[in-house]
Amino acid sequence: MSKNIVYFVLYIIILSEVLIVIVERDEYEEQIKGMVKEMLEGYKQEFSVKLPEKEYTMQSTQQNALAVVISPIGINAKSDSVIYVVRQKNGGVFAKLDKDSLTTGIDSNSVNPIYLKIDENKQAQLIIKPGFFGIGEYNLEVVAYLKRVLPSTIKGDFLKEVNKILNADKIVASNTEAFKVYVKGGFGAQRLFEY
Specify whether 85 is located in the same domain as 116.
yes
Specify whether 139 is located in the same domain as 56.
yes
Positions of E strands within the chain = 48-50, 55-59, 65-73, 81-88, 101-103, 114-118, 124-128, 136-147, 171-173, 177-184, 192-193
How many other CB atoms sit within 10 Å of the CB of residue 91? 8
Q: How confident is the model at residue 155 (pLDDT cuts 50, 70, 90)?
A: confident
Q: How confident is the model at residue 195 (pLDDT cuts 50, 70, 90)?
A: very low
pTM of structure: 0.67
Residue 111 host element (H or E): none
Q: Is the dihedral of CA 157, 158, 161, 163 positive or negative?
A: negative
Specify whether 91 is located in the same domain as 172.
yes
Specify whether 62 is located in the same domain as 21.
no
- Distances in Å between the Cα of 36 and the Cα atoms of 24, 119, 158 are 18, 27, 11
Please list the residues that pair with 121 across neighbouring strands: none
Domain count, the chain: 2
Name the residue range of residue 157's domain. Answer: 48-193
Q: How confident is the model at residue 114 (pLDDT cuts 50, 70, 90)?
A: confident
Phi, psi of 27, rounded to the nearest 5 degrees: -65, -40
Q: How far apart are CA 28 and CA 162, in angstroms?
A: 20
Query: The domain spanning residue 110 has which CATH number?
Result: 2.60.40.10
Specify whether 61 is located in the same domain as 30.
no
Q: How confident is the model at residue 100 (pLDDT cuts 50, 70, 90)?
A: low
Specify whether 76 is located in the same domain as 149.
yes
pLDDT tens digits, one per residue of 52-80: 999 998 887 777 888 899 999 888 777 77
Q: How far apart are CA 32 and CA 121, in angstroms?
A: 26
118 pLDDT more than 50: yes
Residue 27 host element (H or E): helix 2-44
Question: Which residues 6+ apart lie within 8 Å of 75 measured at CB?
Answer: 47, 82, 122, 146
35 pLDDT more than 50: yes
DSSP output for 112-164: SSEEEEE-TTS-EEEEE-TTSS-SEEEEEEEEEEEE----TT--HHHHHHHHH
Specify whether 99 is located in the same domain as 141.
yes
